[in-house]
Amino acid sequence: MTAAVAVSRHLHQPFSHPLSGSLQIIPAIKSVLQSLNPENPRTHQNPNPSILNQFSPYLTPNLVVQVINDLTNPYHSLFFFTWASSPSPNPNLYRHSHFCYIAITDKLLSHKLFSLAADLLKTHNKFSDFLVGKFIKAHGDLGHLKWAVKLFHQVRSGEVGDCLFSYNTLLGVLVKANRVSHAWAYFGRIVIKESVVKPDVSTYTTMIRGLCKVGMIEDAEKLFDEMSCRKNSITYNIIIDGFCKKGLMESAQRILDEMAGDEACMPNTVSYTTLIDGYCKKGEFGNAMRCFDEMVSGGNCEPNVLTYNALINGLCLKGNVDEARRMMSRMRLSGLRDNIATHTSLLKGYCIAGRSDEAIKHFKEMLNLGMSLDGKSYAVIVNEYCKLGRPDEAVLLLREMRGRGINPSLASFNAVFRSLIKLQEFDKAILLLKQMRQLGCCPNFISYLQ
């Protein structure tokens, strides 16, 4: 008995409930498609789609979307979609919805089948600003920036109509690829000079994010102040983060205060945590605690692990490890669990306070507890061993890291080299230099100069 016949017999059994029927139909459709060709129905002899006609009475947009998403072979998805475009018979007058076109486009683009996706949308006259945006993002994710730009220019000069979504997508692609100067130039040209699109909050937010990313905080602030549409919490949080990264805490505080005056967009956990972290890194722990207390007393948002970690790190940067541990206890009492970042801050704090033995002890306790240590945790202790003139123990940690699948950083190796050279252990330094690649790191010129 063929798979198709077996499926057909199975489907002729009555379904007790529409949902249970749908759950049975989807595996049945997948079985039929796999029986036609387990790999690529398009590149072999064209299979007869009539075997799918038995599913016509059950077609709905939701079912079509689910089948497309569930299939792992994009050619099966396309074959099914094409059949469902004009099923026979069609007792329910089924037609693909907009979401069906989105699903098949996503499926084809996720497998880099750009031409197939484009041909499909052209054939069905379904190219839209939104779907072109998906092509732009897919090209951008693959680093095809020229194609992304070319697609946008085709949209703006074509008959798609409004091109705001595709423009916003292009900005996002350029910012993600660190081509912020290009994004800024396109903003000036497309938005300001030519008025091709009317920017929305997504346009402004993406551009502000890019400007903050490369440290162009003055331009970001100017654009923020000139926004012609209502800001959202993401916009506020991005500019706050931009100011904090530059150490401009008064400006960051001003934005948070402005946000607090907007009832539709009150400060959230991200807003306060960003500001608290900024104050801590600036060494203004008093202001950080003021923000924390305001956050807790306000009742609009709750501190999370990142909030507490920012405070713990701030205390540790000052060497106040005991106070940091009390803050960790407070975090636990609030129902939150400390993580590897919490304990890495404590390791740094012990080292800054000159309590090396306690740092090493705490590190070993972390290992004994089975915590998933990362490169940052190891780097703190590697560096501390080097400062103590114990490079052999540091090297053992580098080897242990590699054994755990963690690549030691170049900075860690260079710290070991400095310690070995200082102790005139030249043979050990040369041996380690030869073994660097084997241990997961390539030397740079500084490694050779040690």
Instruction: State the pLDDT confidence band at 14, using cuts at 50, 70 and 90.
Output: very low
> Comparing 7-21, 46-60, 169-183, 249-263, which segment has the lowest mean pLDDT?
7-21
In a domain, 331, yes or no: no
Q: Are residues 107 and 8 in the same domain?
A: yes
Q: Are residues 187 and 86 in the same domain?
A: no
Contacts of 398 (CB under 8 A, 6+ apart): 378, 382, 408, 412, 413, 416, 439
Q: Are residues 71 and 103 in the same domain?
A: yes
Distance CA 138, CA 111 (A): 10
Q: Are residues 119 and 108 in the same domain?
A: yes
In a domain, 234, yes or no: no
Q: Is the dihedral of CA 136, 139, 140, 144 positive or negative?
A: negative
How many other CB atoms are found less than 10 A from the CB of residue 398?
25
- What is the phi/psi pair of residue 444, to 5°? -115, -175
Instruction: State the pLDDT confidence band at 6, using cuts at 50, 70 and 90.
Output: very low
What residues make up the domain containing 21? Answer: 1-126
DSSP character string of 344-368: HHHHHHHHHTT-HHHHHHHHHHHHH
Q: For residue 120, what pLDDT is reported?
A: 94
In a domain, 344, yes or no: no
Give the CATH number of the domain where residue 218 resides.
Answer: 1.25.40.10
Q: Are residues 122 and 136 in the same domain?
A: no
Q: What is the mean pLDDT of residues 256-281?
A: 94
In a domain, 400, yes or no: no
In a domain, 33, yes or no: yes
- Of these ranges, 25-34, 250-259, 405-414, the one predicted with the greatest mean pLDDT is 250-259
In a domain, 373, yes or no: no
Q: Are residues 224 and 143 in the same domain?
A: yes
Instruction: State the pLDDT confidence band at 159, using cuts at 50, 70 and 90.
Output: low
In a domain, 194, yes or no: yes
In a domain, 283, yes or no: no
Q: From 101, 126, 151, give the residue that closes a domain.
A: 126
Instruction: State the pLDDT confidence band at 444, using cuts at 50, 70 and 90.
Output: low
pLDDT, mean over the chain: 89
Q: Are residues 108 and 120 in the same domain?
A: yes
* DSSP 8-state assignment for residue 14: P
322-373 per-position pLDDT tens digit: 999 999 999 999 999 999 999 999 999 999 999 999 999 999 999 999 998 9
Q: What is the mean pLDDT of residues 88-109?
A: 94
Take residue 131 and report the two structure tokens written for it.
Answer: 């779907």
Instruction: State the pLDDT confidence band at 17, using cuts at 50, 70 and 90.
Output: very low
**Number of folded domains that form the chain:** 2
Q: Are residues 76 and 141 in the same domain?
A: no
How many other CB atoms are found less than 10 A from the CB of residue 107?
23
Contacts of 254 (CB under 8 A, 6+ apart): none
Q: From 229, 246, 279, give the residue that closes a domain.
A: 229
* pLDDT at position 414 over 80: yes
Distance CA 382, CA 376 (A): 10
Q: Are residues 96 and 177 in the same domain?
A: no
Q: From 210, 229, 248, give the residue that closes a domain.
A: 229
Cβ pair 177, 145 in contact under 8 A: yes
pTM of the model: 0.84
Q: Are residues 156 and 202 in the same domain?
A: yes
DSSP character string of 36-78: H-SS-TTTSS---GGGGGGGGGG--HHHHHHHHHH-S-HHHHH
Q: For residue 9, what pLDDT is reported?
A: 47
Q: Are residues 132 and 186 in the same domain?
A: yes
Instruction: State the pLDDT confidence band at 42, using cuts at 50, 70 and 90.
Output: low
Cβ pair 107, 79 in contact under 8 A: no
Q: Are residues 58 and 76 in the same domain?
A: yes
